[in-house]
Amino acid sequence: MPTIPMGAPALLWIALLLFSPDGMSAAIWKSKVSLNPPWRKILKGDAVTLTCGTNGSSEDQSSLWIHNGTSFTTNNSRWHIVKARMQDSGEYQCRIKGFAISEPVYLNVISDWLIIQASAEVMMEGESLFLRCHSWKNLNVFKVIYYKDNKALKYWYENHNISITNVTEGNSGIYYCVGRIQRLPYISNKLKIIVKKPYPQSNYFWLQFLIPLLVVILFAVDTGLLISTQQQFTLLLKMKRTRKRNRFTDPQPKPDPPGN
C-alpha cells in the first residue's frame, strides 16, 4: 500500500515549515557583542568594553574574538579598550564555545574635538534613546546646541545629555551638536537615527496561526491524495483483472498478484 511514499513529502513540508521561520531557534543560540558604554562612534583616547554574551547568560567564559577578520582566543568574555586608537576601529565578532558566531558590530574611532553619540542608531518604537555631545578628553563644552534635521532641538550653556524615552517614528532624523571648547566653536559629526515600527512582531503573530493552518491543509491534501490514489489503484487492478480474463494470450509480464 502506498502509505509511506505519500506520507513522506508531507512530513518533509512540516519539518521545513517548523524550522524555517527566520531561524528562530538559531537566533537563541547566537553569541552577541555588546558595547559598554553603548556608543558605536567614539573619540581617540576613549574607553570601551566589548562583552561577548549569549541570550540568557553573560558570565565569564572563554571566547573567540574576531577583529577585522583576525581571530583571538581569550579566557575572558570581555575585551577592554582603555585608550582607543584609530586601529581599534572596524568589525568585531565573537563566539562563546557551544554557540553560533555573533553578528558583526562596527566600532568607529574618530579623531576630532566634538562628536555626537547615540545609544543606538536603529531602534524600534517604544525603546529609549540617549544622545551625548562628547568632547575630546572630556574637555568642557559650553553653549551646546543639539540639532535635529537642521533645526535647533535643545540649547544649554553647559553640556547635557538628551534622553528620550519611548521613541516614535517622528524621532528619526539626522542629529548633530555644536559647542565651544576653549572658546572656539566646534561642530560634531552628523548621525542618522532610524526608528522603526515593530512590524516583525505582527509577522510572528500571524505565523503562529499560519503554520498550524498550513499543516492541517497539508494533511488534508495528503489524505485526499492517498484516498484518490487508493481508488485509482483498485480501479486499475479491476481493469487489469477483466482484461486478463478477456485476453489469455497477453504476452506482457504479469503484474504482482494483489493480496486479497
Ligand X SMILES: *[C@@H]1O[C@H](CO)[C@@H](O)[C@H](O)[C@H]1NC(C)=O
Q: Which residue ranges make up the site for ligand X (CB under 6 A)?
A: 37, 55-56, 68, 75-76, 86-87, 89-90, 126, 132, 159-161, 166
DSSP notation for 75-142? SSSEEEESS--GGG-EEEEEEETTSBPPPPEEEEEE-SSEEEEES-SEEETT--EEEEEEEGGG---E
Closest CA to 191 of 136, 137, 128, 132: 132
Minimum CB distance to ligand X smaller for 75 or for 150: 75
What is the smallest separation between the CB atom of 87 and ligand X, expressed in angstroms?
A: 4
Burial class (CB in 10 A: 0-12, 13-18, 19+), 146: buried
Minimum CB distance to ligand X smaller for 77 or for 95: 77
Please report, for residues 89, 129, 168, 171, 174, the alpha-carbon distance to residue 198 in angstroms, rounded to integers and kept in the order given. 31, 16, 11, 15, 21
- Run of H or E residues at 9: helix 3-19
What is the smallest separation between the CB atom of 117 and ligand X, expressed in angstroms?
A: 8
Minimum CB distance to ligand X smaller for 163 or for 242: 163
What is the smallest separation between the CB atom of 2 and ligand X, expressed in angstroms?
A: 43
Dist. CA 141–CA 158, nearest whole Å: 7
Minimum CB distance to ligand X smaller for 25 or for 232: 25
What is the smallest separation between the CB atom of 28 and ligand X, expressed in angstroms?
A: 6
Helix (H, G, I), strand (E, B) or coil at 249: coil
Dist. CA 3–CA 7, nearest whole Å: 6
What is the smallest separation between the CB atom of 95 and ligand X, expressed in angstroms?
A: 17
What is the smallest separation between the CB atom of 102 and ligand X, expressed in angstroms?
A: 13
- Run of H or E residues at 19: helix 3-19
Please give the residue whose beta carbon sits closest to ligand X in the complex. 90
- Bridge partner residues of 34 (DSSP): 51
Minimum CB distance to ligand X smaller for 208 or for 242: 208
Closest CA to 218 of 5, 17, 4, 1: 17
Measured distance between the N- and C-terminal CA atoms of the chain, rounded to whole angstroms? 12
Minimum CB distance to ligand X smaller for 207 or for 237: 207
What is the smallest separation between the CB atom of 86 and ligand X, expressed in angstroms?
A: 6
Minimum CB distance to ligand X smaller for 91 or for 250: 91
